[in-house]
Chain A
Amino acid sequence: MKPEPKNDLIAEAVLPHLDAAYNFARYLTRNDHDAADVVQEAYLRAMRYADSFTGQNPRAWLFAIVRNTFFSMRKGNIPAETAVPFEEELHREGAEPGPEAAMLRSADARVVKDALEELSVEYREVIVLREFEDLSYKEIARVTGAPVGTVMSRLARARDQLTRAIKRRMV
């Protein structure tokens, strides 16, 4: 069978984002093996979802598929992570200027990695989408299916938690 034009279009649109898709999946799954499975399945689905692809923002479209694939596979194969207790709006520390920022800047790769992996998946994903991929709130809302307001507050909490997780490893 000859590849259909739409499939060529999809391939052209999503193949350049393979590394980003893998990075996202890797942070969602927290291991290489599951990340590869999720990404492979996501690309298969991307072909099947050809009709939902409007040609705009293939990266966000792909992230949404990766995310959905992760959550649907997690129900089956990928073991669910232990629930991280949900922290409500916490009191922010760091009243003095300087120290907290300096401490954060001195964190090494190991600390950052461990702190990131400690976050719950809802926080991990917004950090990756915003800090690594530079997606707008609207785009993150589309990827995660959450309202923009939720994205905003979730991102704020995610950054607070990540800051504390790094801090805890620095003392």
Chain B
Amino acid sequence: MTCDEATQLLDAWYDGELDAPRSASLEKHLEECTACAALSEARSALSEVLVKNATRYNAPAALQKKIEALMSRPPEVASRARLSRPPRVMPWRGLAIAASFLLFVMVGWNAWLLQSGAPVPNLENEIVSDHVRSLMANHLSDVASEDRHTVKPWFMGKIDYSPPVNDLASDGFKLVGGRLDYVGGKPVSALVYQHGAHVINVFVWPTREGDDALPQPRWSNESGYHLAHWTNAGMTYWAISDVDPLELTRLVNLLGAK
């Protein structure tokens, strides 16, 4: 073995990571070559001085307390993250960690959205549940009327605003009635329109702090329903239906979305 080879393998040998045959020939070389033996000796000396004199930092007591407290209650995001990831064993963690980090960023983003109180993604789920419930529980409307002059006044005294109620029958959207519903923990007006066999729920409330200003509707799909969300003249609108999206777009535009 040459000195070049020896120096290249020295650290692996020193760390016990070299295979037996090469270890044997390296050891033989070290017996014969003082320069390489000196290098080997220096490695030992370095390790010794690191063990003896390098500072080992211990976690400060305050940090330890904080982390113990932190670990005893699972952060909500942790359980949410778990739901969206199939359990699997990965060959190694680099990938898993990269993926988790991405997920962490996404979850963090969600958490940020939640914190900022903005168009909370959960609102969408709430709207869907409200819509489904209105269809299932035979509770489509509290006031069943095609007449907007009946529907609009019905909300008076039940909520502290007067929702715009439009007569759109000539456009193919028959007003079926109105309903009081709960969205984001507050009572809101739900207006029920019908287009053919399809029911469209339109939730309207005065734009709250944290609601996005959305002159142009934001579209989403949830559980097979189309949702449109927009604001117009100080009111926040959510429309949901299983109707053809083109028809829903037409209604959304009739209701003031740009």
List chain A positions with a Cβ less than 8 A from chain B.
1, 3-4, 6-7, 10-11, 14-15, 18-19, 21-23, 26-27, 32, 35-36, 39-40, 43-45, 47-52, 54, 61, 64-65, 68, 72, 92, 94-98, 100-102, 104-105, 107-109, 111-113, 116, 127, 130-132, 136-137, 142, 145, 152, 155-156, 159, 162-163, 166
Contacts of B170 in A (CB 8 A): none
Given known A22-B58, A49-B100, A107-B53, contact A7–B45 (CB-CB < 8 A): no
Q: Are A26 and B63 in contact (CB under 8 A)?
A: no
Tell whether, in the assembled complex, residue A105 and residue B48 are in contact, meaning their CB atoms are under 8 Å apart. Answer: yes
- Contact partner, B100, options A14, A45, A95, A113, Cβ 8 Å: A45
Interface residue from B37, B77, B94 paired with A48 (Cβ < 8 Å): B77
Q: Which residues on A sit within 8 Å (CB–CB) of B97?
A: 49, 52, 64-65, 68
For B, the interface residue count at a CB cutoff of 8 angstroms equals: 64
A71 to B90, CA, bound (A): 22
The answer to whether B72 and A136 have CB atoms under 8 Å apart is: no
How far in angstroms is the closest Cβ of chain B from A62?
11
A97 contact from B41, B82, B88, B101, Cβ within 8 A: B41
A52 near B96 (CB under 8 angstroms)? yes
Interface residues of B in 55-86 (CB under 8 A from A): 55-60, 63-64, 66-68, 70-79, 81-82, 85
Contacting pair A40 B94 (CB below 8 A): no
Q: Is B50's CB within 8 Å of the partner chain A?
A: yes
| Most A-side CB within 10 Å, residue of B34, B60, B67 | B67
Contact (Cβ within 8 A) B17 A97: no
Check B63 against A40 for contact (C-beta < 8 Å): yes
Q: Which one of A6, A23, A142 lies within 8 Å of B93 (CB-CB)?
A: A142
Binding site for A on B (CB under 8 A): 7-8, 10-12, 15, 17, 34-35, 37-39, 41-51, 53-60, 63-64, 66-68, 70-79, 81-82, 85, 87-90, 92-94, 96-97, 99-101, 103-104, 107
Nearest to B59 among chain A residues (CB) is: A22
Q: Is there an interface contact between A113 and B37, defined as CB atoms closer than 8 Å? A: no
Chain A residues in 8 Å Cβ range of B75: 44, 47-48
Q: Are B60 and A36 in contact (CB under 8 A)?
A: yes
**B104 touches which one: A10, A45, A105 (CB < 8 A)?**
A45
Contact between B46 and A104 (Cβ–Cβ < 8 Å)?
Answer: yes
